[in-house]
Structure 1
Amino acid sequence: MSQPIRFVMLGGFLGAGKTTTLARLARHYQSQGKNVVIVTNDQADHLVDTHLLRNQGFDVGEVAGSCFCCNFDGLVGQMESLSQAHRPDVILAEPVGSCTDLIATIAVPMMQLLGERFEVAPYAVLLKPSHGQKILSGVGQRGFSPNAEYIFRKQLEEADVVVINRIDELDPSQRRLLETNVEKNFPERPIVAMSAKTGDGLDDLIRHIEQPAPKHNLFMEVDYDVYADGEAELGWLNATTAWQHSEPIDLDQTLTAVLNDLKDQFAAADAEVAHVKAIVQTDSDSAVANLVSNDSDVALSMPTGGLAATSFRMVVNARVAIAPETLESIVQRSLKQVADQTGAQLSVESIQSFRPGRPVPTHRATSS
């Protein structure tokens, strides 16, 4: 019998840094001579993460239209398709950032149903400091409603290891305080402090996920009514646009201008940002920018270094605590405003805005 394929699922709330971490993990395994494929996940298609990872040369499949837990067969189908095409040693999977209960609905069912073919790694969940500190401290304005916070906390509760990401953005006292709050809220949970951006702490994460997966005899309780309400409070938008200009315009500046305008408009609407991510693409280059909370600055996470072009595509993914129709209006307005300022002709190729539907798992284990 051939060696089982290692299945590594990396969870965390919207904007936690899962995609950057997956890319680093993929390069790590490739450096060991292993074949790696990645499965991304979203409530709709046209996902920035998929474009970004493919642009970096990775083999990527996408499960769109629902979270992994509600489309177990779709996840397995993508894994089988990628396995036939690429014969991977490792499959890295990134669930939707508003999804929880993945041990009972994905990890354990996979062990029970497909254990001879796939070897499941311990489940690591990334924590982003901007929302983690607000929610776990229980002090002051926390940004999201109690229902959305419920999802955030449940993600950490089911983690085999909690990964505090973005430590490059924290001073030593902030880091110690966040670690203390994680320990207080989730005692006896292993903690990794890491920066996916710099790679600091990645080796510690790798040591944890290369261990055998724990045997889960008990599963956390999940109130699916609260879970559904929490997801439904987020407006969800994916948009794909084409830009044309008579003269070359700077891609990095255009991308950051759009996200900075969106940040201002969301603040004016008192709408908490979970994550806004955008990518611009030409035939040969791409740039990516992120906004992970109202209190954060727009980060140009993958710049072109000043490249200019007369034509390019821009994909915007926005997850914000606001009505979907309002979210779409704001995004359309920002795109048009920046296009007008640069003198570009803007064409919206596709746009979807909605609230996620109620999660209904394909499987949910009650015992292992």
Structure 2
Amino acid sequence: MSNEPHKIRFVMLGGFLGAGKTTAIGRLAKQYQDQGLKVGVVTNDQAADLVDTNLLRSQGLNVGEVAGACFCCNFNELTSTVETLAVDERPDVVIAEPVGSCTDLVATVVQPLMQLFDAQFDVAPYGVILKPSHGLRILRKEAQAGFSPKAAYIFEKQLEEADFLIINRIDELSAEQVEELSTLLSQFAPDTPILRMSAKSGEGMDGLIEMLDQRGSYGQKILELDYDLYAEGEAELGWLNSSLDATSDEVFVLDDLLLGIVEGLRQRLEAIQAETAHLKTIGLWEGAYGVANLVSSDTPAVLSLPSHCQTKLAHVVVNARVAVDPEALRAQVEEVVESVASQMGVTVAFHQTQSFRPGRPVPTHRFAKPSS
């Protein structure tokens, strides 16, 4: 019998807002469980009431969350959250989902784990999921990429520090689009492996598992990063998290409410030319859960996970990340929710709404050199 101490395999998958990280992590966790491994998940957001936490827990996963700041700025809570998960059920693997507008995660999360917590964690190669909708526009260097050059700077830096890159949503792309993305990524990061995957259908997930099982010289790409530009890029996005209860005397179709809210917001935001980074609604009631989302201004609103639920009561969470003033975003969300609900004969009661711009990143640790 080995006397080696038990190490938790730490897997972190990054990527821009709306890249499909939550769907990928849910499927990845299930595949690890099918291998007989115990899995924990840690979600992350700048605000409380994380929609991704609710969604992953509804899939039966053991989920902790780091709320109120990104992993890099709240590193101690990241490690303590993993420790809390370990008290309940000693996980073999912990999968971490960082905030979608964060970069510099190798210097501020991966390297601190490797250098300060080597006895506890066995860190996997760091993968970044490419968001095709904004990825094509930014990598093509289109003048109208949807975001300012400052936000595009964050997107590119995320790709630059990755050990490997994942083109996700290939089920939604043509073969020509997949090839163009592969070519653009190869030109941008010529020495970085590229995987093709659909987290939704499961295609390519075996390749992701194989990549994450690799050992070697990974997590070494320390960025040269302009933190002023990084902070300004993040601050261009208005963030909103809102939770509410929807009730009616008659049963209503939960999925219609979720999709109606997202579609209503898509139309409103398009009218004021506000670029959407990610917009997501989740509905939960008695074991049922559904998700509708919008990942960019030039893609349709979709019911990404139908609940097939008809009910008189549901809990709904709205997450919005949009290039617009956060108070304007709050007004739009509240008006659309009230309007869509009213048309369906549903009454809504808001519990908590947070709307803000992210503050300047101040990492707990930042290692300027990789471990030897």
Residue 95 of structure 1: how far off its partner (Å): 0.3
For 1:231, the equivalent position in structure 2 comes to: 234
For 1:331, the equivalent position in structure 2 comes to: 333
Maintained 8 Å contact 1:10/1:18: yes
Query: Of 41, 44, 50, which aligns to 2:44?
Result: 41
For 1:188, the equivalent position in structure 2 comes to: 191
Q: Counterpart amino acid of 1:157?
A: E
Partners in 2 of 1:344 and 1:170 — Cα distance?
36
Q: In structure 2, do the counterparts of structure 1 residues 143 and 45 end up closer, same or farther at CA, with 3 Å as the change threshold?
A: same
Structure 2 residue 260 is the aligned partner of structure 1 residue 284? no
Partners in 2 of 1:105 and 1:5 — Cα distance?
19
Q: Secondary structure at the match of 2:324?
A: coil
Maintained 8 Å contact 2:110/2:219: no
Q: Number of residue pairs matched?
A: 367
For 1:151, the equivalent position in structure 2 comes to: 154
Residue 302 of structure 1: how far off its partner (Å): 1.2
Q: Secondary structure at the match of 2:114?
A: helix
Structure 2 residue 33 is the aligned partner of structure 1 residue 30? yes
For 1:262, the equivalent position in structure 2 comes to: 265
What is the CA deviation profile of residues 94-131 of structure 1, one whole-angstrom value per residue up to 9, with x for unaligned ones? 00000000001010110101101100000000001100
For 2:363, the equivalent position in structure 1 comes to: 361
Alignment of 1:45-60 (within 5 A): 45-60=48-63
Structure 2 residue 296 is the aligned partner of structure 1 residue 293? yes
Q: Report the TM-score, using the length of structure 1 for normalisation.
A: 0.98
Maintained 8 Å contact 2:245/2:313: yes
Q: Secondary structure at the match of 2:368?
A: coil
Partners in 2 of 1:75 and 1:360 — Cα distance?
15
What is the CA deviation profile of residues 125-183 of structure 1, one whole-angstrom value per residue up to 9, with x for unaligned ones? 00011000000011242000011001000000000001010011111111111111111
Q: Counterpart amino acid of 2:168?
A: N
Maintained 8 Å contact 2:294/2:300: yes
Partners in 2 of 1:231 and 1:142 — Cα distance?
16
What is the CA deviation profile of residues 258-313 of structure 1, one whole-angstrom value per residue up to 9, with x for unaligned ones? 100000001001000000011111123111111100111112111023x2111111
Query: Of 63, 66, 71, which aligns to 1:68?
Result: 71
What is the CA deviation profile of residues 184-243 of structure 1, one whole-angstrom value per residue up to 9, with x for unaligned ones? 111111000110011111111111111015255562201000000000000000000111
Alignment of 1:100-249 (within 5 A): 100-215=103-218, 219-249=222-252
Query: Of 16, 19, 23, which aligns to 1:20?
Result: 23
The answer for unaligned runs of 5 or more in structure 1 is: none
The answer for unaligned runs of 5 or more in structure 2 is: none
Query: Of 304, 312, 319, which aligns to 1:310?
Result: 312
For 2:348, the equivalent position in structure 1 comes to: 346
Q: In structure 2, do the counterparts of structure 1 residues 95 and 148 end up closer, same or farther at CA, with 3 Å as the change threshold?
A: same
Partners in 2 of 1:217 and 1:348 — Cα distance?
45
Residue 60 of structure 1: how far off its partner (Å): 0.2
Structure 2 residue 94 is the aligned partner of structure 1 residue 91? yes
Maintained 8 Å contact 2:163/2:193: yes
Q: Counterpart amino acid of 2:163?
A: D
Residue 3 of structure 1: how far off its partner (Å): 2.5
Maintained 8 Å contact 2:266/2:297: yes
User: Which moves more between the two structures, 213-222 or 193-202?
Assistant: 213-222
Partners in 2 of 1:275 and 1:214 — Cα distance?
33
User: Which moves more between the two structures, 180-189 or 214-223?
Assistant: 214-223
Q: In structure 2, do the counterparts of structure 1 residues 216 and 167 end up closer, same or farther at CA, with 3 Å as the change threshold?
A: closer
Residue 351 of structure 1: how far off its partner (Å): 0.3
Maintained 8 Å contact 2:44/2:99: yes
Residue 344 of structure 1: how far off its partner (Å): 1.3
Q: In structure 2, do the counterparts of structure 1 residues 132 and 175 end up closer, same or farther at CA, with 3 Å as the change threshold?
A: same
Q: Counterpart amino acid of 1:364?
A: R
Query: Of 10, 25, 28, which aligns to 2:13?
Result: 10
Q: Secondary structure at the match of 2:122?
A: strand
Maintained 8 Å contact 2:106/2:220: no
